[in-house]
Structure 1
Amino acid sequence: MKEEALSFLRQALNKPTANFRPGQWESIQELVERRSRLLVIQRTGWGKSLVYFLATRLLRDQGAGCSILISPLLALMRNQIAAAQRIGVKAATINSSNQEEWEVVKIKLLAGEVDILLISPERLANDEFRENILLPISQRIGLFVVDEAHCISDWGHDFRPDYQRIVRILQALPQNIPVLATTATANNRVVDDIINQLGANLQVRRGDLTRESLRLQNIYLPSPAQRMAWLAENLPNLPGSGIIYTLTVRDANRVANWLTIQGINVKAYHGDLESESRITLEDELLNNQIKALVATTALGMGFDKPDLGFVIHYQRPGSVVHYYQQVGRAGRAVDAAYGVLLSGDEDDEITNYFINTAFPPQIHTQQVLDALNQATEGLSVPQLEQNLNLSRGQIDKVLKLLSLEFPSPVSKQGSKWYANPINYRPDIEKITKLTEIRRQEQAKMSEYMQSTECLMAFLAKELDDPHPVNCGKCAVCLSMPLLPVTCSIEMVNQAVIYLRRSNQIIEPRKQWPSQALSSYNFSGNIKNNLIAEAGRALSLWGDAGWGELVKQGKYRDNHFDDALVQSMREMIQRWQPQPFPTWVTCVPSLNRPELVPNFAQRLANQLRLPFKPIVRKVHQTKLQKSMSNSYQQAHNLNGAFVIDTFPGMSGAVFLVDDMVDSRWTFTVIAALLRSAGSGQVFPVALALNSLGQGE
């Protein structure tokens, strides 16, 4: 059978001289001949997908049923599926992007015409999928595969709640079905948890995690401008094409734009892009049509480009696991590739944000449960938003985690959620421990930045590789930098100017939250004659560029510097909104009645336009930043403003504020101004208050 498997391997890889890597054949044999449960821990690029595709082919030849593969990476598996097709393995997928194909896939699956079904863990939450597809084939599944198995463990850094459903599915399946779990990043703590969940009979095969081709180096450059300058000067000299990782979507866009201006062919990649755009970008990188993708972790597990020449981190990730996983994308099939970790002053702030928002606070969970317990008819998520000052994301997170508890204190019928008669107690001790582990991981990454031991050995040790060895190729082993650790003052100055001109677009809101603004009778879609135009913010709050100066003016000086007035005028001149406004007004405040009007008056003088403070605030409101969802943010402003009219207000107008949080203040006042007879309303603000987190 080994010869047959080797023949399939060579067909799959389209390479007549290919051979099994150490551990590949042994894993296939374990699954096909002994029908074992197996956890394979091997470095990225080792070929874990070949194990389950070849095992599927051999099992199907023996008359076994189809394989089920659960993976969070379906969009990134096009190459692997193509390899499977070369050995006659018919793969099909059911996911959110191919709904029109579901019925055809179901018919083929039930007829035994599918060899391997690829699904995301989220699909297991779908009752219809479980009852109409999974249940009918459950007794004849040939192989059950859990890709990226570290996601099962909530002790791992990539825990995904929907993976909890996998354990329950496995418990319901016949015990003689072979099971393969694969990962590149599992330390002993995570392995023990996976064994605990998948069963004590789970065998573990762990490979060597050292990446021999990688040249590792760490460089501390405190400010974003320094790191952007370093990238502009060093990227053109790096071999091949690669990935630059950022922690936020905002930074992916901003760094990509900066490097493009510098004449370097890069593009931004993140989870906010449509799947078709992401596929196009992946192909451009795979085909070396661009120098780099500037990406969030959305380009993470599963992306396979063997000749990737470098992976650079613009900021320090939150854990060694994440770093190893990402830097390990480089140099799989080349002799030398660079892994450079840049680190800056904002790294801890961003990582802290992720740690602090990883689990819903107990009070959020209790608020959701209390609201559901009081609602005998159940509540939809929009209704929960009206009842609670929680964001939709916070509510969704609470409901998802509660629905995965066993027994669950909540259940969903149609669009509504109901409380179940369960005396639910959150595991506070476990959440505290997990948060402490995240803090320890963050500290380990800080330690890695300062490491005086081999960088590759440091990473391998942290991942509990039993045989870490010095690589002899990193900056520490060679006692010298592989790449320059500084950049020119001229380039840093250019980056500072770029950051100061990185104005943020204030997108107009287009729909009123239901019943939030009854005093104004605003409901439904915002009419064209009431909607604000797309506006501009000079900076991001507290950011490099102007953000820090805005923060000082608001909270230290109670006065905005003339440099901000000048810069705002220059921004407006570059922007040239049409029709160009004929007057200026501002958002009033009862707490600081002079701060914004004073700035708006000076800006109007610079623009040589009249300043008309005709927006009045008639009752105190809570701070918009303390409101957590659209309903609460809009409702907070209900009846708060009135407009005094004046002759000549029919021209377009600049509406000035210092900070923009939810955009509802601009939206409501713009609608009131238009109702009172003004022309188009162009919002302008000194700073956009957004951490820009996400993938």
Structure 2
Amino acid sequence: MGQNIALKTDADALLAAIAGPGAALRDDQWAAIDALVNDHRRMLVVQRTGWGKSAVYFIAAKLLRQAGRGPSLIISPLLALMRNQVDAASKAGIRAATLNSANMTEWQGIEDQVRRGEIDVLLVSPERLNNPQFRETVLPGLAETVGMVVVDEAHCISDWGHDFRPDYRRIRDLLAELRPEVPVLATTATANDRVVADVQAQLGEGTGVLRGGLDRASLHLSVVELEDSRRRPAWVATVLEQLEGSGIIYCLTVSAAEDLAEALETAGWTVASYTGRTEAGERERLEKALIGNELKALVATSALGMGFDKPDLGFVIHFGAPSSPVSYYQQVGRAGRGTDHADVILLPGSEDQAIWDYFASVSFPDEATVRTLLNALGHEAQSTPKLESSVDLSRSRLEQTLKVLDVDGAVSRVQGGWISTGQPWSYDATRYAAVDAARTNEQNAMVEYEKTEECRMLYLRRQLDDTTATEPCGRCDNCTGRTWDVTVDARLEERIDARLTAPGVRLTARKQWPTGISVRGKIAGVEAGRALGRLNDVARGPALRALLAEPGWRPTSPWKQDTWLPRIVAVLADWDWSERPVAVVALGQVDPERTAFLAALAEAVAAVGRMEYAGVLEVAPNAVEVTAQNSAYRVRGLLDHWDYSSAPAGEGPVLLLTDVVETGWSVTVAGHGIHERTGRTVLPLAVASRG
């Protein structure tokens, strides 16, 4: 008993270091720590957002370290979570480090520290568990000495979880290799009974469960249904005046987030988009800007979710409904952690069902497509870009499918790409059908949430099988009878409509170089650009894809009779540049046919716009296609990709014409190189953007 009292005192001191003087562990938090440190148990903790799950595992990790145990391994899904946790750990004297896609150039040094025992806590993403180098050189030693394993956001481990990730299924194999005395903690705020049972089974027999009530007393839930959902951007711009503090506006797709952010900027609001396309360094900058109340809102996809911590976040708006009440609860949990009042507003859209159906359809391909992929793989490593030419799957779907096949043992990720293992593999149609059925039920439940006349918080808590959910919250629109005014400022709506229906789409300017490369800091000389449309646009996408599939296409004369030049002219006419460009240069490609296509188009654009045609920015001798998707590696490969002796001399802004903008790094690196050597401002112009 004396030892327990001493440990409890130490634990309270550690919490005070993390959370501030006077902070003390609650009984349920200490119960979890006690089970881990003294009883070496496996525990699943299901508690509401803001309960203090991270404090539990940091304190347990430190106490185990003080008892002579090895470092703890924390598996976390998102970079925001890792950054916040490393900062929190340092306050308590815990030596924490993280391996993630944003600090790849630092991996070697961190891995050496782990081997030397200089790290108390190592945070990794689940994807790292199958990184060949990490798996072969770091994980074996870590598994032998690890003091504790933590699986954060553990609902991701379950097929039935709202955010299932194939890489999380590898954790089961890691746990099976642990010594019996190594404690394991799995944590989540969003798990119903089915997910709890699944996670328990994967953690192993005897896993304890600590489960609490999920009410959030600060949240005031509302649903606002506009007769015309196209008026939602103007309504959001109007209602922001009434919302205290700063917040998050969630969108279902990347394009919706970028478009809405642009619309709100047009209305005078200081906002920014935050999506899966946002580079890691820029994400960190935007998170800090929101935390510091420099922004009214981040307009985000689910990329901004688990782990982002701003205690005084004043509101969360959903521009379109998530496909699951469980997912919705997880996202609204970002608000009101440290305040008495936070507004949560759902704005359903007429397109919601179509988006849900699309994401459900691409979750895992049909058996014939998977067989085609397996047949394309051999015993020599093939990169993802190379495999794209062999199977009719987008990059994201292809990578997701390969991860599932990897976990199933049919393929293996190695240095340089993927290989077939030659192991028998069967298409688990029963499991996929069951998951599809569960998703359909969740979608129906989300529609019911929108229509329900009962307490909205009570509804969400019951969807999460919260046994303490018995009383209405007394705060939501249904409980109070208070609803939001649906009036929209007409002049504001007119301005926003003009922006959203303008020709083309914006290309966001990269503002910061990724870490760990030879160039650092802010990026100069390259402004925001434009593209004719997105390749995934329902209306414009098919025609753009057809155009890009024919590199032999050339503009016709006179230009007004051409299919594409009038559209480019419309984009240029609508462009709100600070200074009109005076020249056009084509961005050289490794493929000479693509270069010729861009050169002909650039020359035609220059003639129509009465600008100088400044030729082609040629690729450097012996240049090869840069296929890396990681920002640091991609930029490193692009720095010497072009021959800047061909950069256009002269003065005045330059249009840099390319075919497709995917990550944005090619036009950024090339544009910066032109600016650095000539002093000219560069404005990227693309035929299409991907995404």
Query: Which TM-score tier does this pair reach, normalised by the shorter chain?
Result: 0.7 to 0.9
CA-CA distance at 1:568 after TM superposition: 8.3
Query: Is 2:297 the partner of 1:292?
Result: yes
* Partner secondary structure for residue 276 of structure 2: coil
Report if aligned partners of 1:403, 1:410 keep a CA contact under 8 Å in 2. yes
- The one-letter code of the counterpart of 1:131 is E
Query: Is 2:474 the partner of 1:478?
Result: no
- The one-letter code of the counterpart of 1:401 is V
Q: Structure 2 CA distance, aligned partners of 1:455 and 1:141?
A: 43
Q: Counterpart in 2 of 1:574?
A: 574
Q: Structure 1 CA distance, aligned partners of 2:301 and 2:417?
A: 34
Q: Counterpart in 2 of 1:514?
A: none
- The one-letter code of the counterpart of 1:391 is S
Q: Structure 2 CA distance, aligned partners of 1:571 and 1:379?
A: 39
Query: Is 2:406 the partner of 1:403?
Result: yes
- The one-letter code of the counterpart of 1:402 is L
Q: Find the partner of 2:388 among 367, 378, 385.
A: 385
Change (3 A) 1:683 1:231: closer
CA-CA distance at 1:434 after TM superposition: 0.5
Query: Is 2:110 the partner of 1:110?
Result: no
Q: Find the partner of 1:127 among 117, 129, 132.
A: 132
* Partner secondary structure for residue 532 of structure 2: strand
| Offset from partner CA, 1:617-655 (integer Å, 9 cap, x none) | xxxxxxxxxxxxxxxxxxxxxxxxxxxxxxxxxxxxxxx
Q: Structure 2 CA distance, aligned partners of 1:538 and 1:351?
A: 20
Q: Which runs of 5+ in 1 are unaligned?
A: 508-532, 551-563, 582-603, 610-659, 663-681
| Offset from partner CA, 1:574-600 (integer Å, 9 cap, x none) | 34986699xxxxxxxxxxxxxxxxxxx
- The one-letter code of the counterpart of 1:62 is A
Report if aligned partners of 2:503, 2:574 keep a CA contact under 8 Å in 1. no
Q: Structure 2 CA distance, aligned partners of 1:199 and 1:42?
A: 20
Matches within 5 A, 1:421-432: 421-432=422-433
Q: Structure 2 CA distance, aligned partners of 1:141 and 1:506?
A: 45
- The one-letter code of the counterpart of 1:451 is T
Change (3 A) 1:477 1:180: same
| Offset from partner CA, 1:458-502 (integer Å, 9 cap, x none) | 000001100113100100001221x22332444333332222225
Q: Counterpart in 2 of 1:5?
A: 11
Q: Counterpart in 2 of 1:536?
A: 532
Report if aligned partners of 1:500, 1:539 keep a CA contact under 8 Å in 2. no
Q: Counterpart in 2 of 1:460?
A: 461
Matches within 5 A, 1:140-159: 140-159=145-164
Q: Structure 2 CA distance, aligned partners of 1:566 and 1:137?
A: 61
Q: Find the partner of 1:303 among 297, 300, 308.
A: 308
CA-CA distance at 1:684 after TM superposition: 10
Q: Structure 1 CA distance, aligned partners of 2:395 and 2:342?
A: 42
* Partner secondary structure for residue 224 of structure 2: strand
Matches within 5 A, 1:24-43: 24-43=29-48
Query: Is 2:191 the partner of 1:186?
Result: yes
Q: Structure 1 CA distance, aligned partners of 2:685 and 2:133?
A: 47
CA-CA distance at 1:198 after TM superposition: 1.0
Change (3 A) 1:306 1:67: same
Q: Structure 1 CA distance, aligned partners of 2:67 and 2:137?
A: 26
Q: Structure 1 CA distance, aligned partners of 2:372 and 2:71?
A: 44
Q: Counterpart in 1 of 2:201?
A: 196
Q: Counterpart in 2 of 1:52?
A: 57
- The one-letter code of the counterpart of 1:24 is Q
CA-CA distance at 1:321 after TM superposition: 1.3
Query: Is 2:441 the partner of 1:440?
Result: yes
| Offset from partner CA, 1:126-172 (integer Å, 9 cap, x none) | 23323322212323211111111111101111111111111101101
* Partner secondary structure for residue 364 of structure 2: coil
* Partner secondary structure for residue 19 of structure 1: coil
Q: Counterpart in 1 of 2:232?
A: 227
Q: Find the partner of 1:325 among 330, 340, 354.
A: 330
* Partner secondary structure for residue 485 of structure 1: coil
Change (3 A) 1:334 1:129: same
Matches within 5 A, 1:451-600: 451-468=452-469, 469-481=471-483, 483-501=484-502, 503-504=504-505, 536-537=532-533, 541=537, 571-575=571-575
Query: Is 2:285 the partner of 1:280?
Result: yes
Change (3 A) 1:199 1:221: same
| Offset from partner CA, 1:397-421 (integer Å, 9 cap, x none) | 332211111xx22335543544334
* Partner secondary structure for residue 273 of structure 2: strand
CA-CA distance at 1:254 after TM superposition: 1.3
Q: Structure 2 CA distance, aligned partners of 1:353 and 1:179?
A: 36
Q: Structure 1 CA distance, aligned partners of 2:507 and 2:320?
A: 26
Q: Counterpart in 1 of 2:450?
A: 449
Report if aligned partners of 1:502, 1:538 keep a CA contact under 8 Å in 2. no
Change (3 A) 1:36 1:485: same
Q: Structure 1 CA distance, aligned partners of 2:565 and 2:535?
A: 13
Q: Structure 2 CA distance, aligned partners of 1:535 and 1:31?
A: 54
Report if aligned partners of 1:21, 1:46 keep a CA contact under 8 Å in 2. no
Identity %, equivalent residues: 43
- The one-letter code of the counterpart of 2:160 is W
Report if aligned partners of 1:229, 1:491 keep a CA contact under 8 Å in 2. yes
- The one-letter code of the counterpart of 1:400 is K
Report if aligned partners of 1:368, 1:398 keep a CA contact under 8 Å in 2. no
Change (3 A) 1:326 1:684: closer
Which structure would you say has the larger Rg?
1
Q: Find the partner of 1:270 among 255, 268, 275.
A: 275
- The one-letter code of the counterpart of 2:532 is R
Report if aligned partners of 1:11, 1:86 keep a CA contact under 8 Å in 2. yes
Report if aligned partners of 1:150, 1:158 keep a CA contact under 8 Å in 2. yes
